Structure 1
Amino acid sequence: MTPIRAALLASLILCTAAFADAPKTDVAKSADHPVLKRFTGSVLAGYAQQDWEQRNFPDARGVSKTENDKFANPVSVEGKVTRLFYLAPLGKSPLEVYRNYQQALTAAGFKVTWQCESEAQGCTTAYFALEGSERAKGMRWAEGNLPAADGAHAGAAWNLEMALSHEQARMTVGTLTSGGRTLYLLLFTSMAENEYTHRAATYVEIVEPKAMPTGQVMVDAKAIGAGLQAEGRIALYGLLFDTGKTDVKPESAAQLDQMVAVLKAQPALKVFIVGHTDNVGGVDANLKLSQGRAQAVIAALTQRGIAANRLLPHGNAGFAPVASNAGEDGRAKNRRVEMVPQ
């Protein structure tokens, strides 16, 4: 008996009758991702979705040839993350499942970054590089386990969670354009745990890149005062606006209250309220937008009791970026309102 086979047998668990069967229904509150439907008859046994997180994908070099169980050059992608774990119908081979996913992805315009279909191409290394325990964090699982499907191991079963393996493993990684967005997609198919289950398992991870939601951290009065003294300005990302609009959103109230506290604590302080945009759109439109937002903030401050003669608006459009506009993260940082002492 090989060491690998011995290890698989050692991982057998005894299950109560209530949980000895494979899941028959999807895990609660789960669904296929809109861009990729499941292999026919599969059960969505594991599911997680995070509005904003960071995931690592292999680049075109695939797995490392010098480090064990590592991707050669993992690329970090941030955005909305969906993770799905499927069990195919009993008796369906990993090859049949994988080829069907390949066909569907190709038809949808999938662009392959890297893929493997054998141990020689790096699939075993890719299996370990997936870091199954890390990727399983936060996933919800259907009730059930993975029972053996042959008479020689009747009564044996394995844990369901991330029950992938390097047996008949195949992986494809790449990008898919949908609705004007470029999504990152990783798909790994193999035997579910080992050959005795007679099932194929598929893990899918899809990242929809986007900037981290801003405006969730308010700058308090003490920090505003310190920033004005140390830097001569303070950026206030807690002032929120809808895209292309100048109205201050109600969620900005807490930040406005902290600005008022600073101005009331320093009666002699006069400030510019400076609006900034990213580089999306024309210069004239962005000048008008940034000026309008600065004026809207001043209106909100005067409504809270600050004299108008202490406040001057200025629209700076995108002429003073604090980050690169090449990506959405940078553009989000550039869209801001600042207080600057006069």
Structure 2
Amino acid sequence: MKSRIVLPLVVMGTLGAIALAGCKPKAKAEAEPPAAVAPASATAASAAAAPVVAPAEVKPFDVTSVPMSTAALPPFPFFELPAGAEGYHQDAKDFDRAWVIAGEELRAVEGRTSERWFPVSAANMSMLSAFRNYEATIKSLGGVRVDKVHPLDPAFIARNGGDKEALLKKLAIPNGHVTAPDETPSFSQYLVRTPKGNIWIALFFFDDDLNMSIEVVQEQAMEQKVALLKADEMAAALAKDGHIALYLNFDNDSDILRADSKPAIDEIVKMLSADGSLKVRVEGHTDNIGTSARNIALSRARAESVVKAISTLQISKDRLKPEGFGSGRPLADNTSEEGRAKNRRVELVKI
């Protein structure tokens, strides 16, 4: 069995103060005549006529610009937490979508994910020592830093919808906060290219407590674990048990149905078309990650999305009743990812 890499402790010395010399303005060779001042009305008209400039597009990041790593990788998620930090936030999923910064581009990637963070004080480390420990270990695996823009950069935010809080949420930055760009270190994104797929690693610090986060995504295809139920099988289950659990795929923390859920929606439509008297309650259920209020709202929104998808295929909404129960009716223990995955479901209940 391969062992995990244990981070070495970096011994920090006293940092000397660095004086920043101000730049002197370059003297002009001779005085210039004052520029002509346009009338106020002309200036206002010119400003009103100025076209709105769209956010500049950036060149897509070339993954092949990063050399292929030849290092032997330890088991996922590749890094140990330092002593004292083990009891803090840890979350992992066998398959999910995550967002990374590649060059100046925001990029969606899918695969196995790990999200961990801890207060650096709990590990008796400074921000700088924690950052340098992880960066050194990432580089030892062949990782290359690939971010060319900070998440708080106004141009980056404008290019990606203009909503700072939504953007930081995509990047899995807790509470929507990340330390400012002038604080070193703040945010860094790395890529490890391997013959078996890309590995993306983000390091960042957030909130006043100086929490460090380590986000890892190992790109890979989803392993299909749920077989598609046919319309007649659904009908038989409803007739026998009165309800049936379906595992439809939504965007992360969203009510948007993914395209791979369409075959299941089509089978539901076939079942309802075959029995015009059948009415069902469409129930949304979540795991226990997040607040109760948020989970209830999300589960209700997902149930409504399923109803909308069905009703657009000529099934009357009068036969469908959406409800959201959040995490209140779990099918399995929420302490494991396997259990949480079983609890994230949509149920059809005969009414």
* TM-score normalised to structure 1 length: 0.41
TM-score of the pair, normalised by structure 2: 0.40
